[in-house]
Amino acid sequence: MIGVAGAGKIGAQSALEIASMGLDDVALVDIVPGLAEGEALDISHKLSDLGVDVDVSGSTDYSTLRGASLVVIAAGMGRKPGMTRMDLLAKNADIVAPVTREVAKHAPSSVLLMMTNPMDVLTYVALKASGFPKARVVGQGGLLDNSRFKYVLAKKLGVSRGSVSSLVIGEHGENMVPLASHTYISGVPLTTLLNELEIQEAIEDTRKVAADVIAKKGATVFAPGRVVARMAKAIVDDTKEVLPASAYLEGEYGVSGMCMGVPLRLGAGGIEKIYELKLTDKERDWFNKGADTLREAIANLKIAERSG
């Protein structure tokens, strides 16, 4: 069984995507009375038309997550127009920590998949609150950022999105690092197709595009849900897919004591391996800038905990 903690727009969309793939039964939990149950019914009606026979249930009781192999954490406040992901830190940390403890109590063998923003810091919060080994706590940001980078590049180059092989690492935020040096269009290096200015424009467009969606419709929903389902499949079906996601680092890329987006292999036990890539000086600078931002956020979080 796969659990989803938080039945708001993104949690419900993630449950829909996961259930539609027929990966496993899905249990939605939310503190708002009736919300998770209503979403579960709506999803189940769609599954009937698809002919997909998995059970989707909803509850306010975290004990319904008992036995889950994977729990998606989508509880918390979403970004409003004009907000950065980091603006949500204090409020969402206060939500995610107790939610994670409830999940860990009822699904102690599960893998945790963090969706809530600021995702990297809250992946760290979930790791500490759960007491789980680092391999069983992962955050979704890099794969989502990469889908946006692919969109931007395909549009700029006039090619099929399926032709783009790219990677985005680092902070899931304003300091994300789209890796032009590791991006290819069906084997052709991006650096031979676009000049440095054009590449930088594509990178900046990728960094800003989520805020543009939020300004226009209030929330990003469909792409995050799709990304979570893809990661869920890698974990539940033990596919060993290599993709960019947030993991706790202990020296990789010269960073320790925080969660950041890196290429990693996902399987039934969660994170199986982290891959280190050679970065350009500019890419390394952006990666380190993101690390500095996350380090400061974690320090502020600890100060707030001590003062509280």
Active-site residue set: 172
C-alpha 287/C-alpha 281 separation (Å) is: 10
Pair type for strands 26-29 and 56-59: parallel
Q: What is the Cβ-side half-sphere exposure of residue 50, based on CA atoms within 13 angstroms? A: 15
Residue keyed to tokens 């390394």: 284
Q: Are 212 and 204 in contact (CB under 8 A)?
A: no
To which residue do tokens 């002919």 refer? 51
Q: Are 243 and 231 spatial neighbours (Cβ–Cβ below 8 Å)?
A: yes
Q: What is the CA radius of gyration of the chain?
A: 19
Six token digits for residue 115:
């969706």
Q: Is beta strand 137-139 parallel, antiparallel or unpaired with respect to 111-114? A: parallel
Report the alpha-carbon distance of residue 266 to residue 199 in Å, rounded. 29
DSSP element (H, E) containing 101? helix 89-106
Q: Which two tokens stand for residue 107?
A: 């699904």
HEC secondary structure over 235-284: HHCCCCEEEEEEEEEECHHHCEEEEEEEEEEEECCEEEEECCCCCCHHHH
